[in-house]
Structure 1
Amino acid sequence: MRKWLTASVLVYFLYGLFMYWYLFVMSGSGVPESYAGSSADPQTFMTGRELILSEDYSKIKNFLYFVTVPFEWFIFFIILLTGLSYKMQSWSNATSKFSAVKTSVYLFWLSLLVTVVALPVEWLGYKISVSYHITTQAFPSWMKDQVIDFWVNYLMMILIVVVLLWLIRKYEKKWWLYAWFLSIPFSFFLMFVQPVLIDPLYNDFYPLKNQQLEEKILALADEANIPAKHVYEVNMSEKTNALNAYVTGVGSNSRIVLWDTTLNRLSDNEILFIMAHEMGHYVMKHIYVGVAGYLLLSLGGLYLTHRLMKLIIGRWGTLLKIKSIKDLTALPLFLMLIGILTFASSPLTNTVSRYQEKSADMYAIEMTGDHEAAVTTFQELAKAGLSQVNPPTLVKIFRYGHPTLFERINYLEDGHESKE
């Protein structure tokens, strides 16, 4: 156990050291020399202070991302290696004879432990964001969101894990296939209830106050044959200075949502470009394509998780104190493998997402015909979020579900020049 623990700490430290070197020493984020002075060059639309802050903030934010993603896997690994998972299973077994109750108790202790260990890292990210004036949220409000996160995730995990364990115990060889079948209606159910049940737990949503702007947005929606009756705004200025707008939900629960920070900072034409972009996703059915892709990946992921769990328990089950895949003790291993596979698949999912986002940008510029508003929108997004216009390659591959702002401005410019 000591050897494994020492090796895991060493690997994690060396990984963190590499990411620090890559982000802070090796990588640059400037635009190619041939694009100097263009609309995509941040020196043309950012002040000197904004340039320095965006560079520093982006490097710190990206470094935190890359070191915290495997940190959760590391926590699960330590829980298994030290026998904590086995002890928590013993505690839960003593509480009740009902399997669902045992699972709920075990999940509570596991969720609480992971949350408490990870909280200092979350708090560090919060403080850094506050120091760069991206986050405006007061600490009590931030803690409230953390508590809501805990209970929402915990209650959802109870439902998922109870069903998952029942499937594993009843269909040990094919549980992954039956779990995948059940995930299809569950995914659509979550998408349907999120706008009306989950999102309002964190923020207040209300109809757009600017009725003239709403009329313009709904006119765009009508032109795109989108059955929207209302546009919603959300009071995100209490939490952030960043800008955003999105379409959420499916069916009758679909919503067009604008952050009030977007409304306060952008012009009507810029907002209409963003709305046309979101409508492009709807028209091209990107939501359903994304769900289909997610379900396809999840099928492969669940099968790989099944095979890897069998292999790991067969070889190192004694060390990790896991007797069988059917035991609650194996849950941290399951969660660790799901996390690793999700991260490993992110370059693929991000590539597909970037293609969809580019298509939505092209749809928006064709619909609005406002090239100037499109370019200034992306410039304002960079300034408001202190975002790197041209981030390092690994950051783009693993973090960017959208094209970089450098790419987005350039292909808008290229399209505009070709029309002229």
Structure 2
Amino acid sequence: MITHSIAAATASGFDVEAATRAYLAMVQGPARARSDAYFEGGYWLLLWGTLLSVLVNWALLHFGWSARWSAWASRRTARPWLRTMLYALPYILATSLLLLPWTIYTDFFREHQYGLSNLGFGGWATQEVTSLIVSLVVGPLILAAIFAVIRRAPRSWWLWGAGVLTAFTAFGALLSPVFIAPLFNDFTPMQQGPLRDQILAMAHAQHIPADNVYVSNASKQSDRVSANVSGLGPTIRITLNDNLLRRVPPEGIKAVMGHEIGHYVLNHIPRLIAAFAAIFLVLFFALWWLSPRLLERHRARWKVEGVADPAVLPLFAAITAVVMLLLTPATKSIIRVNEIEADAFGLDAAREPDGFAAVSMMLGEYRKLEAGPLEEIVFFDHPSGANRVRMAMEWKARHLAELPPEKRAIVRPAPLPPKD
């Protein structure tokens, strides 16, 4: 049926492949080369970031810092849960400090090198300090819960540990829109107007209990366009950023919001939490199996009492870094599949294929637009721009007769203006 519809559209003058190539031509020359270089450089960042994490955590074990922090915490309390929380404070501070040069390069200098950040160093540093404070509050709580199950279930803690981390992930999804996100951006109700009414109408048509649309001032960080439906239950909210309102025409905004509404209707947040629960099971099983064997070999040097000793945390962190690197194709694909589903839903909900295709090209400012199948599976957590545009043009071909006459032709948009 789909093939027949596309063939019929082609016969009537609409060529899916020609339409796709017309959109891809919006990002070309130096802009395409810069986008590809930025995104492909991220492949190597995954590897180097993992190696640095392993090196830093090995140093904490090898030079006895981790054991000394654990001993310090045990001298100050006899309560195991409090010992873990006290240990977590110097661990988080030390690893953040040791990795700071790498963080400055990847998150500040590299972003400015590619023209993808609007933050000065002071503003960027303020955000990093805020993130560190959040880690110092949340991290000890998570670790205390994980080490509690390690002490109480020495044979099956990998199973219960995965459950604890899944529970914290769900709790974070619930609280983040209300308590965490506002630490970094302001969220204000979208101004009254036809576009707001159209977005809410789409939401209400899909039974989303939202009475407002929020706008975040993301332009203080970058010029990237974005939107999302976040939260769980009572904290659900629809948010778009001010860049989207400033840079994208109404049909593109509606297309993006249709996509985000799809995430909610298709229950992607609960599904993602469930999928990552399986990832956590693999991770914790690896921790449960590998940690005792490595401790047995290096116990004399590291002075770690066992897996219930908080001093083992650097070993856990190093193993986690390696396992998550190996699981990159799985984690990326889990997210990408949800994005593909939301793309299809959004096209049906907003019925703006050209608006969706144009926004996909804007995302090509920092995402590689065309990739090989294996490359996309391993490294892309969203479909490539080429595949997103092709999906939109195929949708347009299938629904050509339903569109207004002025929207049936192949659109040949002008190239995106160069970034400053």
Where on the TM-score scale, by shorter chain, does this alignment land: which range? Answer: 0.7 to 0.9
- Which amino acid is the alignment partner of residue 370 of structure 2? N
Matched length: 384
Could you list the per-position Cα deviations for residues 235-282 of structure 1 after superposition, in whole angstroms to 9, with x for gaps in the alignment?
A: 011111111111110001001111111111101110100110111111
| Aligned residue in 2 for 1:159 | 141
List alignment gaps of at least 5 residues for structure 1. 1-34
Output the amino acid matched with 1:214. R
User: Which residue in the other structure is 1:261 paired with?
Assistant: 243
- Determine which of 370, 373, 377 is the counterpart of 1:390: 370
What residue number does 1:8 align with? none
TM-score normalised by the chain length of structure 1 = 0.84
* Alpha-carbon distance in 1 for matches of 2:327, 2:301: 29
The answer as to whether partners of 2:353 and 2:395 remain within 8 angstroms in 1 is no
Which of these residues, 71, 80, 85, is aligned with residue 90 of structure 1?
Answer: 71
Q: Please report how far the alpha carbon of residue 412 of structure 1 lies from its aligned counterpart in structure 2 after TM superposition.
A: 2.3
Alignment match of 1:413 (pick from 375, 378, 393): 393
Q: Give the one of 347, 360, 382 matched to 2:329.
A: 347
**Is the alpha carbon distance of 1:92 and 1:403 closer, same or farther for their aligned partners in structure 2, counting shifts above 3 Å?**
same
Q: What is aligned with 1:213?
A: 195
State the TM-score, normalizing by the size of structure 2: 0.84
Change (3 A) 1:299 1:59: closer
- Secondary structure at the aligned position of 1:166 is classed as helix
Distance 1:113 1:40, change over 3 A: farther
Deviation at 1:400, TM superposition (A): 1.7
Are the aligned partners of 2:333 and 2:378 in contact in 1 as well (CA < 8 Å)?
A: no
Q: How has the CA–CA distance of structure 1 residues 41 and 76 changed in structure 2, closer, same or farther, with 3 Å as cutoff?
A: farther
Q: How does 1:265-284 map to 2 (within 5 A)?
A: 265-284=247-266
Counterpart of 2:305 in 1: which secondary structure?
coil
Query: CA contact under 8 A between 2:260 and 2:342: conserved in structure 1?
Result: yes
Q: Take 2:21 and 2:289, find their aligned partners in 1: how far apart are those partners?
A: 47
Q: Which has the higher contact order (CA 8 A, sep 6+)?
A: 2
Sequence identity, in percent? Answer: 23
Match of 1:243 among 204, 217, 225: 225
- Separation of aligned partners in 2, 1:40 and 1:316: 57
Shift of 1:225: 1.7
Equivalent residue for 2:94? 113
Q: Secondary structure at the match of 1:247?
A: strand
Q: Decide whether the 8 Å contact of 1:221 with 1:228 is kept in 2.
A: yes
Q: 2:269: which partner in 1?
A: 287
Relative to structure 1, the CA distance from residue 152 to residue 165 in structure 2 (aligned partners, 3 Å threshold; closer, same or farther) is same
Q: Are 1:402 and 2:382 counterparts?
A: yes
1:58 pairs with 2:39: yes
Provide the rounded CA distance (Å) in 2 between the counterparts of 1:48 and 1:177. 51
Q: 1:44 aligns with which of 1, 18, 25?
A: 25
Shift of 1:176: 2.6
Distance 1:250 1:150, change over 3 A: same
Indicate if the aligned counterparts of 1:247 and 1:257 stay in contact, CA closer than 8 A.
Answer: yes
Say whether the 8 Å CA contact 2:218–2:242 is kept in structure 1: yes
- Partner SS for 1:79: helix
Alignment partners' CA distance in 2, 1:414 and 1:339: 40
Contact 1:133 1:241 in 2 (8 A): no
The residue number in structure 2 matching 1:336 is 318
Once the two structures are TM-superposed, the CA of residue 38 in structure 1 deviates from its matched residue by 5.5
- C-alpha separation in 1, matches of 2:18 and 2:36: 18
1:362 aligns with 2:336: no
- Between the aligned partners of 1:150 and 1:251, the Cα distance in structure 2 is 28
Matched, 1:171 2:158: no
Tell me how large the CA RMSD over aligned residues is. Answer: 2.3
Asked if structure 2 preserves the Cα contact closer than 8 Å seen for 1:77 and 1:332, the reply is yes
Q: Give 1:418 shift.
A: 4.6
SS, match of residue 304 in structure 2 = coil
Partner residue, 2:406: none
